[in-house]
Amino acid sequence: MPVQRIHLPVVDRAPPPPVTAVGAGPLIDRFLRTVRYLRISVTDRCNYRCTYCMPDEIEFRPRAELLTFEELARIAAVFAQGGVERIRLTGGEPTVRADLVDLVAMLARTPGIRELAMTTNGHILADLAAPLRAAGLTELNVSIDTVDADRFREVTRRGDLARVIAGIDAARAAGLGVKLNAVALRGVNDDEIAALCAFAWDRGLVMRFIEHMPMSSGALYAPERELGAAAIREAVTARFGALVPSTAGAAPRGPARYWHLAADPRREVGIISAMTEHFCDACNRVRLSATGDLHACLGHDDAISLRDVLRAGGSDDHIRGAIAASLGAKRAGHEFLSSGAGGPTKHMVAIGG
């Protein structure tokens, strides 16, 4: 894939909303979807340069603009008071944020938070898995787009497959719940769908495939690379036999839909099908960027700055009012098109996968 050179945009942020009489009930958007899941990007930096996610040259936001751990913990507590039960840490690559284990410990103590998860590329996970688990992390999603070492380095432009596998095994040994993620790309790793499933299942893990989305105004998106959910299921079925929908935990906790082998329910595969089988009507999550921008939808650039509310001396009621304003403007869904149009200007590396 040719190198794309683009710059991280500065989000047009709405001014902090006025304090309003916001009750202590659940956080509900204007389409009556209840928010239970907060995804927090802790950094826009990454130690990989994956071809489908990040340009070769990129400008990062100044560190002073990032939310401090104390600010992140305070925002998380307000969300938890509104009924959020699940937090996921993302990036960029969250493990490159210094003292991440301290942040995990702070968030794990938040009343009401039942699950504290993280998505990582796994590059330095072997050293961090046990400390993260001891601090209160409960789940990990580890990105692994191929099980071919040469191809892995080509896709990530600096990754080391052996290190990632060591990190996966360390996370399992530490007692973390682990799922594996792969961005599915035709002509890149479509010939490894079965191999990735076998790799995960041999370790007792769930393999999940993610359809590529036209973030960055479609700059890194190639329509001919699209590999849809139906094609992914066909590849699994061709190698392992029939799939049936999984019914365990039918209430959505995230965007993935799950299937398992009819012959062996322990062998499960998840698909995040933003392009071909939309799931917006069941959306239960919002995203907070490392600089404090609250995005109610991944597919749009709308944002309200909670950092500005905090640093202007805002109270928890101010924060709650800003969250309510964001949910009041939440869209029905994204507008991604298979041509690559319809996506936001924001980049996946800055908001988290």
Q: What is the pLDDT of residues 253-306, one digit of tens each?
A: 678 999 999 999 999 999 998 778 877 778 889 999 999 999 988 767 788 999
Is 176's pLDDT higher than 70?
yes
pLDDT at 20 (0 to 100)? 38
pLDDT at 254 (0 to 100)? 75
The stretch 147-176 carries a mean pLDDT of: 97
- Residue 337's pLDDT band (boundaries 50, 70, 90)? low
Q: What residues contact 76, with CB distance under 8 A and at least 6 apart?
A: 38, 40, 84, 87, 107, 110, 113
User: In CATH, which of 3.40.50.300, 3.20.20.70, 3.90.1170.50, 3.40.190.10 is domain 37-351?
Assistant: 3.20.20.70
Q: How far is Cα 57 from Cα 101, in angstroms, rounded to an integer? A: 29
Cα 311 vs. chain centroid, distance in angstroms? 26
Please identify which residue in the block is written with the tokens 């094609």: 231
Could you tell me what percentage of the chain is helix, strand and coil, using 3-state DSSP and rounding each to the nearest 5? 35, 20, 50
| Least confident window among 47-51, 71-75, 79-83, 161-165 | 47-51
**Type and span of the H or E element at 210:** strand 206-211
Statement: the pTM of the whole predicted model exceeds 0.95: no
- Residue 3's pLDDT band (boundaries 50, 70, 90)? very low
- Residue 252's pLDDT band (boundaries 50, 70, 90)? low
Are 179 and 71 a contacting pair, CB within 8 Å? no
Sequence spans of domains, the chain: 37-351
Q: What is the pLDDT of residues 187-231, one digit of tens each?
A: 999 999 999 999 999 999 999 999 887 756 666 777 788 999 999
